[in-house]
A = this chain, B = another copy of it.
Amino acid sequence: MSDRYLTFVNSPWGHWFAKTVGLAQPLRLQRQQSGLANPVIVAGAGRLAAEVQRIFRATDTVTAQPATIKAPSTVKVQGAVFDASEIVDLKQLDELYEFFHTNARRLAPHARVVVLGTAPEHCSDLSQTIAQRALEGLVRSLAKELRRAITVQLIYVAPGAENVLESSLRFFLSQRSAYVSGQVVRLEKPVDEVPDIDWGLPLKGRRALVTGASRGIGLSIAQVLARDGAHVVCVDVPQALESLQQAARQVGGTALALDITAPDAVAQVQAHIREHGAFDVVVHNAGITRDKTIAKMSEAAWRSVLAVNLEAPLQLSTALLQGQGVNPGGRIVCVSSISGIAGNLGQSNYATSKAGVIGLVQGLAPLAAVQQVTVNAVAPGFIETQMTAKIPLMIREAGRRMNSLSQGGQPVDVAETIAWLAHPASGAVNGQVVRVCGQSLLGA
């Protein structure tokens, strides 16, 4: 769980040593604050400029205007937003070069950078399609080279979705997204109307179900959703009853001991719903690994991993949607994995299940949208948990360092990303898989 190198390198001696010897010098990420980076440089003249300004005003964030491009100040900034949504040809990409060339060094450590674009599939002509698709290469490169715990994302905002940017901008410009970098997120026309939001307690009065909630990432998810105001129903297997009840008490929620692969699992959740009401947020976090190469893998290892990680979320999601178990405005969030994206040696069962989760999200999203419900997934990379603590030292060290932030993530990083997806104002995010991996090098 403890990353001793990170502690070492952030001590005065360790810093000197790492610098002298030429080792990686990851900064300890700052995660606590929910406020927007401040001050922020805003540039680019797209159709999102007005909304971006409105959000900054609403959050009392000081912004500097694009005039700074040609006359760089030496004042450090905590973030940058470039509205590239109306870039329509390759020549205009030069504006991004100019902006980042001039301002890269002005970004303070832990700065947040967001580029806003128009997704290629929404572009009307070829030049625009290409220019907008090219942004991905720029953003992913900057996320790799800016270092100093700076994160960079690309948010494609569909035409008509200009006014549903706030929950995403608040997330990606705050410390809460500290371990998310190099990601491409699409905002579409939202599945529901954005209600009045209490940004301090966005989930107030809402009911959330979290599977695998007794420890690790699941417990962190329950805590963060509870912090945001939700009543959390914590689910875990009956064998974990004690820690489950403790978790539920801790978050002021309810414990529901339940094996999600049991034949009557869905019926048990439905019985709970009849008694206590439908859910607004459902997080399919429970998951298991049974690693072996395929030649050595038992049928039980194959089947159990698929049953817990994929079949159970599928059955519960479809049953809840069919039986009004998820309220309109509801959010279903699944947990995929980098292994599901890139495959992994010795994890053919796990990777199959987690790739299937991506299929679940992409296949269910349009169906759920009809009920004003979104379905998304997070795909964690290397997260510091009891599970990863058991990995042999050298492999664990490689896993930790092979990302742009040179460290593993914390359970709370996954939880905060889920809280953003679960947010009542995030109805524009649907059918997406967002990696929480510090921009892991691994991918497909």
What residues make up the interface of A, taking CB atoms closer than 8 Å to B? 90, 93-94, 97-98, 100-101, 104-105, 120, 123, 126-127, 129-145, 182, 184, 293-295, 297, 299, 302-303, 306, 310-311, 314, 318, 339-356, 358-360, 362-364, 367, 441-444
The residue in A90, A294, A302 that gathers the most chain B C-beta atoms within 10 A of its C-beta is A294
Pick the residue among B101, B133, B306, B364 that contacts A126 (CB under 8 A).
B364
Q: How far is the CB of A187 from chain B (nearest CB, A)?
A: 19
Interface of A (DSSP majority class): helix
Question: Is there contact, CB below 8 Å, between B142 and A348?
Answer: yes
Question: Is there contact, CB below 8 Å, between B93 and A352?
Answer: yes
Question: Is there contact, CB below 8 Å, between B442 and A101?
Answer: no
* Closest CB pairs A-B (n = 8): A443-B443, A140-B343, A133-B359, A137-B355, A134-B356, A137-B351, A129-B363, A141-B343
Question: Is there contact, CB below 8 Å, between A356 and B131?
Answer: yes
The residue in A97, A104, A314 that gathers the most chain B C-beta atoms within 10 A of its C-beta is A97
Pick the residue among B97, B351, B358 that contacts A138 (CB under 8 A).
B351
Question: Is there contact, CB below 8 Å, between A363 and B144?
Answer: no
State in angstroms the CA–CA spacing of A182 and B134 once bound together.
Answer: 24
Pick the residue among B90, B135, B343 that contacts A311 (CB under 8 A).
B90
State in angstroms the CA–CA spacing of A348 and B237 once bound together.
Answer: 48
A120-B363, A123-B363, A310-B90 in contact; A343/B137 too (CB < 8 A)? yes
State in angstroms the CA–CA spacing of A134 and B356 once bound together.
Answer: 4
Residues of B within 8 A of A135 (CB): 352, 355
Question: Is there contact, CB below 8 Å, between A347 and B97?
Answer: no
State in angstroms the CA–CA spacing of A310 and B131 once bound together.
Answer: 10
Question: Is there contact, CB below 8 Å, between A130 and B294?
Answer: no
Question: Is there contact, CB below 8 Å, between A141 and B442?
Answer: no
Q: How far is the CB of A287 from chain B (nearest CB, A)?
A: 13
Minimum CB distance partner of A101 in chain B: B294
Question: Is there contact, CB below 8 Å, between A352 and B104?
Answer: no
